Structure 1
Amino acid sequence: MILCEWCESESAFTSKTTVYWELPDGTRAIEITDTPAVQCKECGMVYQEEDTIIQLEDQLLLIDTDQVAKSISYQKLMEFPRRLKRNYFRYDEL
């Protein structure tokens, strides 16, 4: 059972969706398909959990985004080789 973060209903469930994300350098946005999401039957909200958001933002910061196409699946994006091992700018990990 998943509790909806918006309406607190117990009718939320995991799904996958397409999201549009601005690259860290602000040069463009990309389409990321099959992104993990939570969908609520009660309020209709579809959103990414905080962990997924952090994973996306870290990955986009740590890879060569010039090599990323306009549209990419979440899985393929997460498989891109990283330039650094981790995001050294995240203070909550220190």
Structure 2
Amino acid sequence: MSKLSEEDIEKKLLRFPDWEYHDNAIHAEFEFENFKDCFSAMSRIAFECEALNHHPNWNNVYNVLQITLSTHDEHGVTNKDFKLAEAIDAIVVPEEED
């Protein structure tokens, strides 16, 4: 999997409003109602990470989860990071109800 150009990353980020690009990685921060909800989301994300064989750098303090994605083998952001970001968004960002 090849490292994406900054232009390609910025284009892809248009579909990921909770994510931003800096320091050669994409980053997001999610706030939950409480620690239990945050930890529950982290557990569900962990299963997706294992399925994709791609693991984030993340930090959790009480109800806030900070996630950083980059592909270490490629020294930057690849499509693999966006695939995981999409899976994370499906877990932490609720679907809008009709």
State which structure, 1 or 2, has the greater radius of gyration over its C-alpha atoms: 1
More strand by share: 1
Pick 1 or 2: higher relative contact order, CA cutoff 8 A, min separation 6. 2
Higher helix content, 1 or 2: 2
